[in-house]
Amino acid sequence: MTTFETHPDRYLHWKLQVDGPVARLLMNVDPEKPHRPGYVLKLNSYDLGVDIELSDAVQRLRFEHPAVRVVVVTSANPRIFCAGANIMMLGSSTHPFKVNFCKFTNETRCAIEDASVHSGQRYIAAVNGTASGGGYELAIACDEIYLVDDGNSAVSLPEVPLLGVLPGTGGLTRLVDKRKVRRDLADVFSTLAEGAKAKKAQEWGLIDGSFPRTKFDQAIADRAAALAREVAQQNAQRLPGKDDAKGITLTALAPKVTDTRLEYRHVTVAIDPKARTAEITIAGPEDRPPASVADLHRAGADAWALHAFRELEDAICRLRLDFAEIGLLQIKTRGDIDKVIAHGNFLAAHRSDWLVNEIVLLAARALRRLDVTAKSLFAIVEPGSCYGGLLLEAALACDRIYMLNESDKPAYLALDVLNGGALPMAHGLTRLQSRFLAKPEHAARLAAERPKLDAGQALAAGMVTAAPDQIDWDDEVRVAIEERCSLSPDALTGMEASLRFGGPETLDSKIYGRLSAWQNWIFIRPNAVGESGALKLYGQPERPKFDWRRT
């Protein structure tokens, strides 16, 4: 089983150093300690294990080191920044693993950008050696990129010319959408295996600056200090007190894991391999929200919303990697809906507190992981469910919502302040807005009025797919699940990804909805992964043999 939990004391490939307002993440990949046997992690290349550590570090910087304002990402290897995803790992991996590995890597880079925009932690890529492929994609996820000018180091995206695949962790999208590199120059760069050295890279907008090796470290230190002063002024307005705050410790989740069950404190996953389904049950809070922000800080990682959504993230990642044949997730909740609403309203009322802000941001990231998971999602609303506020978003993330219409013991859906915009999808819309694209005024009215709806009211408001009564409930839900699981998983993945993100696009949604889809397709094409494909033959004397038909 894959574990997504780690700690800086156990990092094999990264070193986290914190010095006041500036932190340093040093990449020093141990080539002899891959995530699984069969390949060597040469030249600071990375695999899932390397990226799990990076994801953990980004998360801990937000919660355990809130006073950090600038994070410098660099290499402990003086001649190579990062060679990108390990080619032998990709070439020897199954198709599902490759796709889910890229998805996790994308989510890690998006978390870096999320921290920059919302958490007052800006990232500088100090590229002190060559950055190729995913190495440059890591750099381009940062706010600023500085390349050493030593006549040898370069940045490159060589996937197309060398491997017959794409820069699949956002490189193409960030080139033109984020850095706004001219299209023709981006085209040349993405087909130029050797990449661009300092002068050309700066002229084309691929980096923000360069320094000779003798001055590089001091120049980066000076820029980090200056940027930290700029961020301090911004934080003073948005998140007062953050720069002097003491963080909380993210304790281990330590779920009980078997072949058919994942059991956390608040989240339980029951897996049915034969039916190819799983039930995710999220328990609401047992208590009312804290009386004050100080009480929330004292609760730390044990605070319900923080612990529950960390568990949900972990469960989603495990389901993707270790349970690839599970095709449908039934999302369920249990608990007191009024307590869920009270917790959401507490978080909304104290959003200027740095810890409250981080909890809401983490919940939003966990829900976006659910949005882009390549499994069918059905929400089941029954008596005892607590689909309110934060947990209502889990239902709204689903492809369908089934709600039991039982008058003697009614179930409810309820909105709170957070449903109005604090938990956006990857394309920037709320799930209410995305649900009611034809009726934006209806979405706005629901967000403003925040009603509590029984089954009949929820059906009339368009909040559920169906609301069968007790007589029809079991059969209708069972048939819907069985029919869904009988359909082509490939067709369902494409259908769901297309339907979940109606409306405008953002950089994030282009990465998940467009770039990932193309990479998914390319990963099964013989031009990349056939016996004579470019990815398979990388490093071999033979040249790849392509099917030259454009499709």
Beta carbons of 269 and 312 less than 8 angstroms apart: no
Please give the order of strands across the beta sheet that includes 154-156: 80-82, 130-132, 154-156, 196-197
Contact 461, 446 (CB under 8 A): yes
- Among residues 85, 308, 315, 422, which one is catalytic? 85
Q: Which residue has the tokens 């150093």?
A: 17
Nearest Cα to Cα of residue 416 among 437, 387, 376, 442 = 387
Q: What is the DSSP letter of 477?
A: H
> Is residue 134 among the annotated active site residues?
yes
Q: How far is CA 278 from CA 106, 247, 486, 533, in A?
A: 25, 35, 15, 36
Alpha helices by DSSP H, listed for 372-488, are 390-396, 431-435, 440-449, 455-460, 470-485
Catalytic residue among 53, 107, 137, 144: 137
Per annotation, catalytic residue among 134, 170, 171, 530: 134
Please give the structure tokens belonging to residue 352: 């200027």
267 SS3 class = strand
Instruction: Please give the torsion angle defined by the CA atoms of residues 141, 145, 150 and 154, in that order, rounded to the nearest 10 degrees.
Output: 30
User: What distance in Å separates the CA atoms of residue 426 and residue 391, rounded to the nearest whole number?
Assistant: 18
159 catalytic residue (yes or no):
yes
Are the C-beta atoms of residues 201 and 193 closer than 8 Å to each other?
no
Give Cα separations from 308 to 40, 65, 263, 267, 363 (angstroms).
36, 21, 12, 7, 9
Q: 531: which residues sit within 8 A by CB, 6+ positions away?
A: none
Strand segments, DSSP code E, in 163-258 are: 196-197, 209-212, 256-257
**Structure token pair of residue 290:** 């804290």
Annotation says 137 is catalytic:
yes
**Cβ–Cβ < 8 Å for 65, 16:** no
- Catalytic, 366? Answer no
Listed residue (102, 87, 49) closest to 520, CA to CA: 102
Q: Any residues with CB less than 8 A from the CB of 294 and at least 6 apart, and which? A: none
Active-site entry in 113, 159, 358, 393: 159
Residues catalogued as catalytic: 85, 134, 137, 159
